[in-house]
Structure 1
């Protein structure tokens, strides 16, 4: 198949986990024999002179990176205007795919399917699928309501939510990375949606070498890796650390990552009188994170909202013992007492007990870490993710389009789904 993937991040422009996901998926689809074009962008804050648009082949994938237009928009200050401007540049670059006059010897390239990743590329993905008259498949990696505990009462929250709703309504098939995200998308944007498929994220296990833990003379070291945002729950880990240190003196917490809540989280550490035991090291690359994972006695992922949590797979691959909340995809990636220790989101008492149980029984902890490594190796390979995604492409049919009215935006959190109702999923 000819697959056009539209994503606002793709190496070397990577903002977070979405960019890594799209990269691995595109490369594996190409290895499987599909003709893959990724339509993405040049770095934010650049322009056509400093970073002109490019069209290159990399790892079997054709990558088209559109340059930013001259108008001055800053993502953090003018988010919706910036997103719309980016969409315009992606549309123009995408339209040239089918125009032989602009591509010389390459000739026209018409996709069989357009695959959008998240709301930021809704406008170009919908426009290009309509222009080429092919099915639109959309992957929802998270939702605005989910990131804000179900609330979309702010002006920008409503705008983002409405674009997500539009993308879901226009899609001929949808993909989510966990069963919880499947439920979330259905509750927020349903019920008249195309089929929703659940395909877990993958991992390149060879990039995360395994190492068994060895006892040290220093105090236990816990690790947090992720964005410093409220929904990631680091504040709960800091609160738990104060309690853990009463039974396990000298325990420390290393924090790898950055975000908007750094100053607040430092205040939380001071409030709980553990400032000297919490070390903020900022963002780290894969090599640096691997070193931290090999050194820690456990990685603590206390998310209050987590569509999937790919860092849990990366940690499991390295053999780092897992202590995770059951939020979203983490509850599906980690089996309590088998591949890690789990607790309810926001439950500091449960988190404290999970950490203490991990530190107090090294043999059982090591067995769980080995089991987690085996599960990751067997069920989360990227070639399996690509195979399942290609199956969604093949099954997607372009529906008859009808005019859509504006969405009815519910500002209050929606109730959870009835767990007795069946869910169509594609699991590893």
Structure 2
């Protein structure tokens, strides 16, 4: 099967959709499919304007413009992509969408307009955007496109936007071998808490700091530290907020690191903490869980679908519950080591071999 993957973002940009689309391309190719990628992200050497480069053996059509901060937007791309899709002999198009994905929305119009079998996957929680998107989804599904989302939580929003249309669930995938488990530390002082996130409002890093401040006040000085991996425009503001909360010696801002470096850091930590709510899946939490870390997260986020409360982590109904869970794992080494031992010895069910089969099932559904 020849597959066109279309996404606003792709490496060298870093983030959830970027890593998932690039990993999907690699695993589809390994399964014997022919894959090409169309993206509005420029290449590592500035490739753009329709340049085709090969990354991991996969042709990547760089449809980027030269824009400030390399914003992945190109309203002039549709005619060029349309021509390449028409002449490329593709069997199916797979468009990857977020709440704000101008390139992907353009690509959905292109592929459905061509009559190509099209799978549309949502990597986001639509929330208030659901009704706004209803006319577009009605048009595209009327032209044969099939819909899916990366979690039940995300799928519920898509069903609200497209009432009466079947919506599949295709979770994000992980290669467990890239996230090997580390040793389980039965004694940990200070407890090393870690998170990996973009420093953006949607990720609720301010709430994360407040949760840690609450727990820190209850467990006392020297009991825990927090490593924050990731970067973003809010970093300076968040650093100031951290200092104002009295966390200057508790929170350590680690910046962006490679995937392998992050896996290594996880193996030196004790607990992963997530405060996100509008998180469609929570791939960072799953990666941390795969290395053996107990995960503390909100039950009303997508992370709640990959973490089992009391087994692979602790889920909470609200931020106060997150602080309670952090205090509990700081004080209860027996519970912490039991969860860590389970995670280290039990690979997650979302391995790429299984997820790739689900994706191909969506392609067959689109073709039918």
**TM-score grouping bracket, smaller chain normalisation:** 0.7 to 0.9
Q: Does 1:204 pair with 2:192?
A: no
Following superposition, which runs of at least 4 residues in structure 1 exceed 6 angstroms of deviation? 44-47
| Separation (CA, whole Å) in 1 of partners of 2:265 and 2:19 | 20
Report Cα offsets for 1:377-408 as digits up to 9, x if no partner: 2511112111111111111258xxxxxxxxxx
| Separation (CA, whole Å) in 2 of partners of 1:335 and 1:63 | 37
Runs of 5+ consecutive residues of structure 1 not aligned to the other structure: 100-108, 153-159, 399-428
User: 2:212: which partner in 1?
Assistant: 241
Shift of 1:216: 6.3
Q: Does structure 2 conserve the Cα–Cα contact (< 8 Å) formed by 1:114 and 1:135? A: yes
| Separation (CA, whole Å) in 1 of partners of 2:121 and 2:31 | 20
User: 1:269: which partner in 2?
Assistant: 242
User: 2:16: which partner in 1?
Assistant: 17
User: 1:381: which partner in 2?
Assistant: 351
| Separation (CA, whole Å) in 1 of partners of 2:329 and 2:139 | 45
Name which of 46, 51, 54 aligns with 2:51.
54
Q: Does 1:365 pair with 2:362?
A: no
| Separation (CA, whole Å) in 2 of partners of 1:247 and 1:8 | 44
Q: Structure 1 length normalisation: TM-score?
A: 0.76
Q: Does structure 1 conserve the Cα–Cα contact (< 8 Å) formed by 2:182 and 2:344? A: no
Q: Structure 2 length normalisation: TM-score?
A: 0.87
Coordinate RMSD, CA, aligned: 2.8
Shift of 1:20: 0.8
Q: Does structure 2 conserve the Cα–Cα contact (< 8 Å) formed by 1:175 and 1:196? A: yes
Shift of the 93–230 alpha-carbon distance from structure 1 to 2, 3 Å rule, reads: closer
Report Cα offsets for 1:161-216 as digits up to 9, x if no partner: 846862564142111011010111122x12153x2101111101111111123356
User: 1:396: which partner in 2?
Assistant: 366
User: 1:7: which partner in 2?
Assistant: 7
| Separation (CA, whole Å) in 2 of partners of 1:283 and 1:162 | 34
| Separation (CA, whole Å) in 2 of partners of 1:197 and 1:220 | 40
The within-5 A match list for 1:98-137 is 98-99=86-87, 109-118=88-97, 119-120=101-102, 121-131=104-114, 133-137=115-119
How many pairs does the alignment contain? 359
Shift of 1:129: 3.6
| Separation (CA, whole Å) in 2 of partners of 1:179 and 1:261 | 30
Name which of 57, 61, 64 aligns with 1:64.
61
| Separation (CA, whole Å) in 1 of partners of 2:78 and 2:338 | 48
Q: Does 1:338 pair with 2:304?
A: no
The within-5 A match list for 1:23-62 is 23-43=22-42, 51=48, 53-62=50-59
Shift of the 237–55 alpha-carbon distance from structure 1 to 2, 3 Å rule, reads: closer
Q: Tell me, what secondary structure is at the counterpart of 1:29?
A: helix
Q: Does structure 2 conserve the Cα–Cα contact (< 8 Å) formed by 1:226 and 1:258? A: yes
